[in-house]
Amino acid sequence: MRIRLLIVGFDPGTKAGLALIDTFGRIVFLTSKTNTSISSFSQMILKHGKAIIVASDRKPLPKSVEKLAKSLGAKLFYPPESLSVHEKIELVKRYDIRTKNDHERDAVAAALKAYKHYVGLFKKINTSLNSLGLTNIYNTVVESMIFGYADNLDEAINKALSGKSVTLEEKKPITIIKTERKVDVKRLEKDIEILKKYNEKLLEENRKLKEMIKVKTKIVAPRKNDKNLKEIIELLKKTRRLEIEGKIPLIELKDLSLENLENLNEKIDLFGRVVLVDSENLVTLNNFGVKAAVSLRDVDKSKIEFPVIVLDKKDIHEKEGIKYIEAFLFDERIKEARKTGLIEWVKNYRNRKI
């Protein structure tokens, strides 16, 4: 039986709140204690599993939260700005978790905020390992990705299978430009997997249709999925050709509703892609792991967890119906953002090498 990986929400104080949830969003343990030491809280946590993330609902980060994370060897997580009381109440309410007091509520909210930030990664790892029949290495792969021991999911899986153990100190520094080219190569493998899944689904539907024809002895109209598959294949082919030419293809998003994004994500996998947006509210994109968003106007970046690059219309080109920007311009704007420090996503971007 594998050890449960935990996200810890901690609200320090004379009376402190402690919340533990697993990587599937399930509450594991919740309590509030008076005059309790950090070491005592550490022992409580260790009884329930292994902490990979310790989260706070506040910024700046309380020293005691940092101390708890250090004692557990866990990664720290805190929001760009302290969560409002309203936001914490809504978070806890949405997940239907009952708390006895404000300390427990704040601890739960901190843990859930961290979970929401990483849920896309957790789901991707779980889905990939299930399809490969490798669920036994789930913990190792999750830790590799959370702590930055691997630059992408394929590398994390390969290291887990080979039994390699790499620490952050042993990893060689990788520049953003090199990483982005590496992600583009991995993109091909992911695109192939998408096409395989659609092809398998289509073959199964064709089999069922043939059975229906035999039984009902009538012609069945072509399924809508035939057209969908062809469109997806063409889209992936065109984006691949642009990448080979050294361009950055843009996935144009006109509708940023959660339902539309989920449907599109299921078809082409938004993870690691650069998207073109025409909206000021980009928060719904937070859980889809996009590499960056390109916009023609300024947007509020305070609650956005990915890089946003504002360009002029003349910088965006089109070929075969697919919009794109030059790779050198993309790299230049990313570098510029890092130098000026005007956006808070830089630290998160360094970890977005999946």
In a shared domain, residues 115 and 239: no
Burial of 150 per CB tally in 10 Å (0-12, 13-18, 19+): buried
Print the domain residue range for 278: 176-351
In a shared domain, residues 310 and 194: yes
In a shared domain, residues 101 and 243: no
Give dist(CA 54, CA 114) in Å, integer.
8
| Residues linked to residue 50 through DSSP beta bridges, in sequence order | 5
pLDDT of residue 346: 42
- Could you give the percent of the chain with pLDDT greater than 70? 76
Average pLDDT, the chain: 80
Q: Tell me the average pLDDT across 159-179.
A: 49
In a shared domain, residues 193 and 337: yes
Predicted confidence (pLDDT) per residue in 304-331, tens digit: 777 888 898 999 999 989 999 998 888 8
Round to the nearest angstrom and report the end-to-end CA distance of the chain: 27
pLDDT of residue 192: 63
Q: Does position 193 have pLDDT exceeding 50, yes or no?
A: yes
pLDDT of residue 209: 58
In a shared domain, residues 216 and 114: no
Q: Does position 57 have pLDDT exceeding 70, yes or no?
A: yes
Among 353, 272, 276, 269, smallest CA distance to 308 is for 276
Predicted confidence (pLDDT) per residue in 251-307, tens digit: 999 888 888 888 888 888 888 889 999 887 788 888 888 888 898 888 877 777 778
Q: Does position 226 have pLDDT exceeding 80, yes or no?
A: no
324 three-class SS? strand
Q: Tell me the average pLDDT across 30-39.
A: 95
In a domain, 312, yes or no: yes
Conformation bin of residue 55: beta by default, left when phi > 0, alpha when psi is -120 to 50: beta
In a shared domain, residues 191 and 91: no
Q: What is the CATH number of the domain that holds 83?
A: 3.30.420.140
In a shared domain, residues 193 and 111: no
In a domain, 328, yes or no: yes
Report the b/e string of 163-173 with b at 16+ CB within 10 A: eeeeeeeeeee
Q: Does position 341 have pLDDT exceeding 50, yes or no?
A: no
pLDDT of residue 221: 44
Predicted confidence (pLDDT) per residue in 77-124, tens digit: 999 899 999 999 999 998 889 999 999 999 999 999 999 999 999 999
In a shared domain, residues 324 and 226: yes
In a domain, 102, yes or no: yes
Q: Which of 88, 119, 150 is the last residue of a domain?
A: 119
pLDDT of residue 288: 86
Q: How confident is the model at residue 342 (pLDDT cuts 50, 70, 90)?
A: very low
The full DSSP string for 198-228 is: HHHHHHHHHHHHHHHHHHH-SPPPPPHHHHH
pLDDT of residue 111: 96
- Reported as half-sphere exposure (CB side, CA atoms, 13 A), residue 294 has a value of 26
In a domain, 149, yes or no: no
Q: Structurally, how many domains does the chain consist of? A: 2
Do residues 121 and 145 touch, judged by C-beta distance below 8 A? yes
pLDDT of residue 256: 86
Report the b/e string of 311-343 with b at 16+ CB within 10 A: beeeebeeeeebbbbebeebbebbeebeeeeee
pLDDT of residue 210: 59
Do residues 92 and 109 touch, judged by C-beta distance below 8 A? yes
In a domain, 142, yes or no: no
In a domain, 188, yes or no: yes
In a domain, 160, yes or no: no
Do residues 67 and 38 touch, judged by C-beta distance below 8 A? yes
The pTM of the full predicted model, rounded to 2 decimals, is 0.49
Q: How far is CA 346 from the centre of its chain?
A: 15
In a domain, 151, yes or no: no
In a shared domain, residues 199 and 57: no
pLDDT of residue 339: 54
Q: Does position 195 have pLDDT exceeding 90, yes or no?
A: no
Q: Does position 190 have pLDDT exceeding 80, yes or no?
A: no
Identity of the amino acid at 150: A
